[in-house]
Structure 1
Amino acid sequence: MVLAKGALTSKSSGEGDIRKALEEGGVIDCIVNLPAKLFLNTQIPAGLWFMNRSRQGDGRFRDRSNEILFIDARNLGFLVNRRTRELSADDIKRIANTYHQWRNPGGS
């Protein structure tokens, strides 16, 4: 899911209860904090929330059932102009590699 960065801390409109249920349900695998200005319709920073119900480890991936990976990518990317930032292919690869190494330290 792509959510505003404020979704990590907001308690309005029951957001805190939703976040707590997702955490207690063990489905949040990874949250990536993105830099501002990535989206054309808003300048606010966003976050990518990756969900996975199968986090106990299945032989291919290690047991991550009591963990959530937070990736701070707020300083990645480059300004295209005053209002727009883009992530480079290397930035995206760096984020993806971080997640894959955490999920499966011995494999790919």
Structure 2
Amino acid sequence: MYQLNFQPVLAGEDTIHVEEGNFVRDQEIFPPDVLVEQEKILQIGLPIYVFPIWWNGMPAIMKGYFDRVFQNGFAYSFESEEPKKEFCGEEGVVFDTDWLASSK
């Protein structure tokens, strides 16, 4: 994430909120850096994420990556079946180094 210089902060305009019973984002189009990562995810067959455990969770930069990239409208939707069509049956792998260290 650091080599990508990825901005992990999910800004207010990128979050979803409810308006008149519908989930909406202020920005209809994802930011350019997020679009690049989303396209990579769509092109790879099996994403593999490796990270250390930091205070009982993933590092903040990784959490920010997941928050910004796997957003409503791309990885899931409360109102549309389109993300299911793209991701249904797909797999990913997550390794955390705490598990690797404790498995010895």
- TM-score with structure 1 setting the length: 0.24
| Structure with more of its chain in helix, by fraction | 2
- If asked which structure has higher relative contact order (CA below 8 Å, sep 6+), I would say 2
- TM-score with structure 2 setting the length: 0.25
| Structure with more of its chain in strand, by fraction | 1
